Copies of this chain bind each other. A is one copy, B any other.
């Protein structure tokens, strides 16, 4: 499995548009990608311009091909281009230390 923790800084006045596009991307990813196991969206508690994501994919290919190759991802990138300044998108990649502990390991998709 591959985990992606994402931090976005959103331009002033763009948060509603950003969250609407992000929600559509998350819902399409979970519904249409067999390899997207988790896609959670959070507002930062201490920075009103910051949005945090927690995504889990079955493997690297599910992220690089299944997710980034999808039509909904292309639409999402257009939202990011309008709403996120240069340097406002930081990805941190991880792998589960105890994958058998994750509910997603037992839901038939992983």
Partner of A42, one of B27, B94, B103: B94
- A32-55 CB contacts (< 8 Å) to partner B: 40-46, 51-52, 54
Whether the Cβ atoms of A54 and B51 lie closer than 8 Å is: no
A42 to B: closest C-beta gap in Å: 3
- Show the binding face of A for B, using Cβ within 8 Å: 2-3, 5, 7, 19, 22-23, 26-27, 40-46, 51-52, 54, 92-98, 101-103
A43-B94 in contact given A5-B52, A52-B5 (Cβ < 8 Å): yes
Partner of A41, one of B26, B46, B97, B103: B97
Whether the Cβ atoms of B97 and A51 lie closer than 8 Å is: yes
Q: How far is the CA of A8 from the CA of B5 in the complex (A)?
A: 14
A95-B5 in contact given A26-B101, A54-B54, A101-B26 (Cβ < 8 Å): no
Q: Which 10 A-B pairs have the closest CB atoms?
A: A42-B94, A45-B93, A41-B97, A52-B94, A3-B42, A43-B97, A54-B54, A44-B94, A43-B95, A42-B96
A100 to B: closest C-beta gap in Å: 11
